Amino acid sequence: MDSVQLELPIAPLRHPGPLGARLSIQERFEAFHQLNPWILDQLETLTADCVDRGLKRVGIGMLFEVLRWQYGRATRGEPWKLNNDFRSRYVRTLLELHPEWSPLFETRGLRTA
């Protein structure tokens, strides 16, 4: 089987300006997602590939690492930073868009810090 080849942007990942400690994880995620909507698209593509391959469980950690690896191969320069705090938010966003994927992902209670 061929692996999925993502169409990644060559531009650097965009991060919001200085985010004060008063912002919640959700608020930081929303600011980050607004600047980088393509990340959700790539996670969606990776998840759909897992479904097509018949996987019954998928870990968002694995998807993050695949995305990091593929982006690292496609770009040069400063290391790419994708905040692990956003994993749970991306899973929930994927499940809002694709409720049929709920058996794939394990979700836990959200931290608000």
- Please write the tens of the pLDDT for every residue from 18-74: 655 578 888 889 988 988 888 999 999 999 999 999 999 999 999 999 998 888 777
pTM over 0.85: no
Q: For residues 107 and 86, what is the distance between their CA atoms, to the nearest angstrom?
A: 13
